[in-house]
Structure 1
């Protein structure tokens, strides 16, 4: 899932439920504003609010809002790309760790580091600029805070190969990162599945662990993310329709040297990965899943977003119904309704078939930790939960990379040195690179 902000809903409808939350949540904050303004006619606007809510959930946002104001940039002389930057204070920009500032409509990217000063009177925060990868930061006045740290594997220091994975309606580009030192785990690939509104560079935060384990990394794209072919209805299925693209990535791995895979899913990528686990004919080749800030129960996420943005309860409930019902297709644009109950893994905890490690922050303001904790409590045999503090949505690595890596390394070591799961025979032809 991505993050953007919905402040101007009166002038412009919801454009996307994105993966880097803005000052409050994402664009949903504008729902609270319009709801208050129209309180006297609440009953009349409820169908409209529900319709906007439903469309937002399933509609990709090609241009996430750049809602972080840039007030000053002081480059360090003699050191290209280093310096200090003064930004508007948001719930994200004051949190410790490394992040990306995306600006100039996505054409510019800078890596931002530690906080050096906070001015509550001016409502600004000053942070270190560690690197400017592209764009002219001195000319920008606003940007978007993002959880990825490196735009491509090159900036992260990894040699990689571009590959294309055959999916419905075309080819989905991916990055293949070979381990520097092969190990006994080199036949198990780590396939990362990014969140809604994000791209495959989100998975680079897992590659340090993959390298230490000697595991190849495959960072994939999937329908509607701006890199892979769009779905025919150009709508998100919240995991219910995206999973065949990840199944195609598994098949590619198996046809190119892998004997098994581990899926690494972020946010909605976690929902996608769980669907692959349960529905794919290649499920038995999956050794386990590492899920970061995952959507375990979409109904819970939608209730949370409706509540914090002061949507009338009935409007939020009606919006969810529009996504689920065949009657809502004319409003949402979905080719088929989404069965949200099929995406509720707390209720379906007995259907979990693979070991799962969940890394989730107590302060995730977009996808609450509650369902992750409930799933771990209901299926202790297969589901492990590591709780983080302070991190916002899917920023667990950013806030505490050492703890993130340690938890993932320990879990993978136990997983991969244990007994192998049964294997299926492949009947599909070898895919071309």
Structure 2
């Protein structure tokens, strides 16, 4: 009987170890696996006047400004005007109207390129990186201070086009970059994301290339993991001294805190993030503790406009609060602007007027950085 109990206990322990290992591997995949997303998450149910009715989901029912893309076309949709069970009707702000029955993609980022999204002319340039050429969109402007935009984990450069109308209005040159593992960019040697630990070198290559085109100073704009990439450049690149100002929107400030939130999102206890982090480090060689802008703030700390939505379930807003505390301790000028509504990187979507005003004032120097909310 004792031997049976011992074998039963051993079997249970083995299952626990296997489950923990599988959970850790899954958790690391959420951080470093390369994913190129497709389309198709919405269905047009009806069209009437200046409205479109969609099948209701958490995404299509979100408040604010979003886009619907289908068959090479797109339309900008405004706030929800009515809801019924399983259906949500939104205002059409601009663009053609799809036919009833059309499947499409409902998203929070502008469609296409600068010309498609905003009617702004651009040139595609190739940035020579250490892994090979990476494409970037360049919108010319006046002066020698460029705005360089960096998208987030498994994102696309079109996500950075939200600020382009304001940047273009101010006449600043604009560069939206790609980096390793992006569509059209060279892959990393191991085919995995490195959470900013390697990707910052592609941003550095973009800045260096921009200097050959006349750039002398830079304003960096990073969203989600793009914020971490910007932070690593500020801490590790000799070109960091050329950065005048930084805007971060829902940045990955602390990898550990982000991983703990990811575990909670998956219905797992937060401590699973610990083993997942070890697996991530084993698979990539990245020291994830180093990727904390809170515990390891960058060497160069230009004025920072920090934007974050309170309900963000991907990068918890506590990361932003903790960075503000770090900034206050170091004398790092941080202007922190929390938005009470909106999901991850959706501050622009839920309140475009306020977002544009903040960016315009910060870029034009009319708004000094400050710590606090």
Relative to the length of structure 1, the TM-score reads: 0.75
Is 1:114 the equivalent of 2:101?
A: no
Provide the C-alpha distance between the structure 2 equivalents of 1:51 and 1:417, rounded to a whole number of angstroms: 44
Give 1:174's aligned residue: 136
Give 2:43's aligned residue: 70
SS in 2 for 1:230: coil
Give 1:16's aligned residue: none
SS in 1 for 2:365: helix
- Which 10-residue stretch deviates more, 160-169 or 42-51? 42-51
Provide the C-alpha distance between the structure 2 equivalents of 1:363 and 1:240, rounded to a whole number of angstroms: 27
Cα deviation code 1:371-411 (max 9, x no counterpart): 11111122133222111121211111111112112112222
Give 1:7's aligned residue: none
SS in 2 for 1:70: strand
Give 1:128's aligned residue: 91
After superposition, the Cα gap between the structure-2 partners of 1:231 and 1:138, relative to the gap in structure 1 and judged at 3 Å, is: farther
Residue 108 (structure 1) shift:
6.0
Q: How many residue pairs get matched? A: 352
Is 1:399 the equivalent of 2:350?
A: yes
Provide the C-alpha distance between the structure 2 equivalents of 1:132 and 1:281, rounded to a whole number of angstroms: 44
Provide the C-alpha distance between the structure 1 equivalents of 2:323 and 2:270, rounded to a whole number of angstroms: 25
Give 1:236's aligned residue: 193
Residue 300 (structure 1) shift:
0.3
The runs of 5 or more residues in structure 1 that have no matched partner are 1-37, 77-81, 330-335, 419-433
Provide the C-alpha distance between the structure 1 equivalents of 2:23 and 2:220, rounded to a whole number of angstroms: 36
Provide the C-alpha distance between the structure 1 equivalents of 2:341 and 2:22, rounded to a whole number of angstroms: 35
Provide the C-alpha distance between the structure 1 equivalents of 2:101 and 2:311, rounded to a whole number of angstroms: 33
Give 1:223's aligned residue: 180
Residue 350 (structure 1) shift:
6.9
Structure with greater helix share of residues: 2
SS in 2 for 1:235: coil
**Which of 120, 126, 129 is matched with 1:164 structurally?**
126
Give 1:149's aligned residue: 110
Residue 129 (structure 1) shift:
4.0
Provide the C-alpha distance between the structure 2 equivalents of 1:133 and 1:282, rounded to a whole number of angstroms: 44
Residue 417 (structure 1) shift:
10
Aligned alpha-carbon RMSD (Å):
2.7
Provide the C-alpha distance between the structure 2 equivalents of 1:216 and 1:354, rounded to a whole number of angstroms: 19
Residue 157 (structure 1) shift:
1.9
Conserved 8 A contact 1:46-1:312: no
